Amino acid sequence: LAKTTQPISMDSYEGQEVNITCSHNNIATNDYITWYQQFPSQGPRFIIQGYKTKVTNEVASLFIPADRKSSTLSLPRVSLSDTAVYYCLVGRYNQGGKLIFGQGTELSVKP
């Protein structure tokens, strides 16, 4: 299973765009990249998933370069309610794999 590395914490201000980068140098051909968000006292929530290039949904964008050794989660115009822990996961879940969470990035959005 590919190991992921992401910053332990990040600070931002309301209205800014936040980019969280995750490194996964040993990603395998069949691995997908998935991001989860966890608010305090809640279970994690799926945000976005991708394989290559760019994926966008109503919550975030995911940028994956051609070599797929890293990925960047982009949150546009964050608000205080985006304060949470963000987890980057890599694996072939759709082939029976399992989610392995790392420590995540604790994002703090300030007014």
Chain centre to alpha carbon of residue 45: 11
Closest alpha carbon to 62 in 35, 94, 102: 35
Stretch that binds another protein, among 11-19, 53-61, 69-77, 97-105 (CB under 8 A): 97-105
**What part of residues 2-61 is at the interface with another protein (CB under 8 A)?**
32, 34, 41-46, 49
**Least gap, CB of 54 to another protein (angstroms):** 18
Stretch that binds another protein, among 16-24, 55-63, 69-77, 101-109 (CB under 8 A): 101-109
What residue ranges bind another protein (CB under 8 A)?
32, 34, 41-46, 49, 87, 91-104
